[in-house]
């Protein structure tokens, strides 16, 4: 019976993968590809948020800072030092992983609201650093003219190429995350979430566990930051503000706990809301502008509606559908 379910899931994932992959073959609409590329960037970050929040039960209101560190670090070494893009990605991942470690260590003594406050403060400090560190970050005006990603001297400069690059990275990140949650490590994260005393009694090193999850989620955000910087070509502090951290938490909450699919779907939906006209043909420009103006309220209302009417978020709804399917 389990085998059957596994096959169904594999087929479903294959179909989803194939359709995501084929989008640039079916359309040359640059705006749409750009929006969907941006969705892929957020999927990468939300995979880390899902591990951190949905599995390990740890809250971070500062993940936009890791996103920013990755973006600025990568942009800086490529534009100023002239390093290849791959080195920029590597620096982004290493620096954000180290940042995750630095944030995790003092925060470990904190739980719940206090952990949220510490990560919030970290996010604010980094935002100020992005604004004030003009030498590296370009200050409030940001950095522009960041070159496209390139492999062995070949620039990936088409909208389709960027789309494929970002979604390949997203696929790799999701594979790593899904491997993790199905392993001993994933069980430990859930255990930590369920009962800290229980987890300790199983021989789990709670400190080591929390640090690792923090580091992984930070590194994912760093990778996303690097991709964003080089695909868009321009970054400024507002892209990495508290507002973005809150949006990331919203994706994790809306997506639901103990799930990767839920948060990924939430990331897709929430990222698309302000750019609905990219995928809904005939949606007027003014309708989109109205949505963008009310973006925060739409997010807030969505989250409240989900909490009220869809217990367990998208993941909860998916599980209920799956349960119905297996009864039948």
Partner 1 sequence: MSLLEVRDVTRRFGGLTAVDAVSFDVHEGMIKAIIGPNGAGKTTLFNVLTSFDRPEEGTVRYDGVDITSWRAHHIVRRGIARTFQNTELFEEMSALENVMAGAHAVTRSGFLAAALRLPWTVREQREVAEESGRLLRLVGLGEWADAPAADMPHGLRRLLEIARALATKPRLLLLDEPAAGLNIAETSALAEALYRIRDRGSTIVVVEHDMGLVMEVSDEIVVLDRGCKIAEGPPRLIQKDPAVIAAYLGEEEADEL
Residues that bind partner 1 (CB under 8 A): 176, 179-180, 183-188, 190-191, 193-195, 197-206, 212, 216, 258
Rounded Cα distance, 324 and 86, in Å: 46
Task: In whole angstroms, give the CA distance from residue 226 to residue 120.
Answer: 22
Question: Angle at the Cα of 70 (from 114 to 247), degrees rounded to 5?
Answer: 50
Q: Between 243 and 258, whose beta carbon lies closer to partner 1?
A: 258
Closer to partner 1 by CB, 77 or 173: give it. 173
Q: How far is the CB of 104 from partner 1 (least distance, A)?
A: 14
- CB proximity list for 6: less than 8 A, separation 6 or greater: none
Nearer to partner 1, 152 or 197 (CB): 197
* Pairing between β-strand 143-144 and β-strand 234-235 as defined by DSSP bridges: antiparallel
Collect all residues with Cβ–Cβ distance below 8 Å to 171 and sequence separation of at least 6: 17
**H helix intervals, the chain:** 2-26, 30-49, 63-79, 85-107, 112-132, 134-137, 159-181, 184-194, 196-201, 206-232, 242-255, 261-272, 285-293, 295-309, 313-327
Nearer to partner 1, 256 or 274 (CB): 256
Nearer to partner 1, 134 or 182 (CB): 182
């Amino acid at each position: 019976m389990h085998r059957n379910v596994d096959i169904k899931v594999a087929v479903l994932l294959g179909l989803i993968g194939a359709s995501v992959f084929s989008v640039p073959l079916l359309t040359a609409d640059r705006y749409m590809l750009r929006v969907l590329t941006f969705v892929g960037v957020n999927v990468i970050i939300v995979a880390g948020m899902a591990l951190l929040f949905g599995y390990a039960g740890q809250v971070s209101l500062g993940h936009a800072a890791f996103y920013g560190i990755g973006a600025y670090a990568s942009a800086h070494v490529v534009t100023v030092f002239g390093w290849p893009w791959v080195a920029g990605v590597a620096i982004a991942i290493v620096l954000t992983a180290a940042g995750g470690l630095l944030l995790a260590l003092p925060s470990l003594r904190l739980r719940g609201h206090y952990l949220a406050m510490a990560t919030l403060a970290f996010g604010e400090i980094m935002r100020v650093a992005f604004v004030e560190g003009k030498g590296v970050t370009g200050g409030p005006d940001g950095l522009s003219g960041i070159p496209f990603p390139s492999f062995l001297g070949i620039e990936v400069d088409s909208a389709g190429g960027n789309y494929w690059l970002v979604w390949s990275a997203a696929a790799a990140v999701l594979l790593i995350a899904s491997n993790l949650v199905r392993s001993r490590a994933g069980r430990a994260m859930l255990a930590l979430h369920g009962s800290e005393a229980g987890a300790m009694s199983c021989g789990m090193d709670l400190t080591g566990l929390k640090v690792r999850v923090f580091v992984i989620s930070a590194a994912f955000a760093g990778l996303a930051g690097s991709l964003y910087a080089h695909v868009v070509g321009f970054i400024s502090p507002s892209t990495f503000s508290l507002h973005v951290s809150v949006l990331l938490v919203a994706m994790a909450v809306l997506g639901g706990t103990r799930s990767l699919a839920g948060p990924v779907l939430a990331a897709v939906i929430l990222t698309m809301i302000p750019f609905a006209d990219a995928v809904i043909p005939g949606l007027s420009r003014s309708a989109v502008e109205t949505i963008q103006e009310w973006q925060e309220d739409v997010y807030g209302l969505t989250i409240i509606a989900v909490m009220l009417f869809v217990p367990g978020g998208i993941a909860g709804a998916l599980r209920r559908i799956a349960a119905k399917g297996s009864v039948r």
